[in-house]
Structure 1
Amino acid sequence: KVYQEKEWSNLIDARTAPISLSLSYLTALHAKLVYLLKRLTPEDMVNSYIHPDGNVNVSVAENIGKYAWHSNHHFAHIKSLADRMGW
């Protein structure tokens, strides 16, 4: 199933848990992703799957690029807010 971020953000932990839990989670997740991605072969990068949102074929390489863009996009929002608020 496609990720429903609005529903996820309504969960109790998303609304009330210390932000440090989310930051620790993202740090660990990205460390694991880097470990995995550095070990992919060129053959691995051309493997693909059917994405449930739009029923389109997506290669591993394309998905990595989309995830990187998406992560940078969120980071830019956070940095912009931090700059605006003087944090």
Structure 2
Amino acid sequence: MGKMFELAGIGRDFIRDIKWARLGGKLLDAVGMVVVVIVSIVGASIQWLITTVASAAVWFAVWVIGFAITFLFIARFSGFKFTKLMGLLS
């Protein structure tokens, strides 16, 4: 008879452990989901920042090149002497 009560106690402990394991698993899932959401938001922000900076750099480079071409075109056909410019800069 004592053996039966002992087995019942082991069974109760086992069921209680399963309940805690399920609760722990649910908590771990919830924490994992929160971590995934945070990492996704941070990753998207970094990606947006990189593409924005790269885009700005490309636009700036295009603007500088366009300005230089325009300046050279105007200078060429207006008779501007680059030696005068060098004299002014030095």
TM-score (norm 2): 0.34
TM-score (norm 1): 0.35
Which structure has more relative contact order (CA 8 Å, sep 6+)? It is: 1
More helix by share: 2
